[in-house]
Amino acid sequence: MRISARNQLEGTVRSISQGEAIANVELDVGGQRMVASVTVESVRELGLAEGSQVTAVVKATDVLLGVEH
């Protein structure tokens, strides 16, 4: 797979919670938890299951930070 995005994180699918149209795919990325929301159709088309090795591609225009006062 070759794509132009630079924010690519290798991970393992830990769990998949499917709704009617959207699935939350929980990943383990270097010991950190990441959740991707994708369509149920994409889960099927990609053949995702617990233990699948995936590449998470992050495309964002903003990153927000917060601190406790």
Q: What is the pLDDT of residue 55?
A: 95
Q: Report pLDDT digits (tens) over 39-59.
A: 999 999 999 999 999 999 988
DSSP sequence for 11-39: EEEEEEEE-SSEEEEEEEETTEEEEEEEE
Query: Is the Cβ–Cβ distance between 29 and 16 less than 8 Å?
Result: no
For 2, counting Cβ atoms within 10 Å of its Cβ (0-12 exposed, 13-18 middle, 19+ buried), the class is exposed
Q: Report pLDDT digits (tens) over 7-23.
A: 899 999 999 999 999 99
Quick check: helix, strand or coil at residue 53? strand
pTM of the model: 0.83
